[in-house]
Amino acid sequence: MEFKQFAPSDILKPYVRHYYIFESNSDIEFEDIVFPSGDMEAIFNLGEGTWESLVDNKFIKTPTIELWGQITKPLSIRSKGRHTMLGIKFFTHSASYFFNDDIGVFNDQISNLYDVIGNPVKDLHAQLMETTDQQKRIALVDDFLLKRLINNDRKIFKVDKVAHILTSIKRNPAENNLGHIASKHGITTRYLHKLIYQNTGLSPKSFSKINRFQLSLKLVAKNEQPLTSIAYDSGYFDQSHFIRDFKSFTGFTPSAYLENLTPVNQLLQL
């Protein structure tokens, strides 16, 4: 199992957190759970293996070209066969730059990116299949996103504004005075809610909770601090609040999570 990250071109760095290539030569079938990350992803499946996700208590095969919406609760997945996957991990605010739909329509599901973009992404997938060179594959994806960035340049002001608002919220995980944040950015609280949801698929409260959870997840995985310290450092009011949120996002208590760490889940949280 091999996982590599690649940086986007300088122009795309404000919008793409990273690209990654995941390869697995094992035919072992396994199940795992994906936790909310706050980011959306697009994934091109280039190998022989298949992935399935749990929908209405039944595992359903995911599309060859996947668009992962905002995951707001634990999502069970299952792997079969050998994999080569190329992923694009967008920043929380930036997926809306590349897609025409309101981002919230994709929440808690894995959609077919071909249905969203059409033939251009199908052509890109075909080009990715024609080469096995990792750098060439990354260059093809980078060029594809650059063209969409240029074509959607009218969105730049709104997307950048959302990025600045989310930064304000992230600076203090315990911040819940949205009126103060809205006033700081010269907008109403109602418009702040609308702006963030349309461009991230999350309400300001949900974004703050997932951001706080992700901070705690990294600290729990390090296993260097007591839970009370992790709760405080992550912006929770008390340990019980922290444990309750952690379990709602993972299905595990923090201590049980440490006992059930899996390689794939750790890679998906990067």
Domain map (residue ranges) of the chain = 2-153
pLDDT band at 263 (very low <50, low <70, confident <90, very high): low
Q: Which DSSP string corresponds to 77-104?
A: EEEES-EEEEEEEE-TTTHHHH-SS-GG
Give 157's pLDDT tier (boundaries 50, 70, 90): confident
> What is the average pLDDT score of the chain?
91
* pLDDT value, residue 261: 73
How many whole angstroms separate alpha carbon 263 and alpha carbon 242?
24
Question: Nearest-CA neighbor of 207 among 220, 192, 218, 229?
Answer: 192
Higher pLDDT, 163 or 168: 163
CATH level 3 topology of 2-153? Jelly Rolls (2.60.120)
The predicted model scores a pTM of 0.91
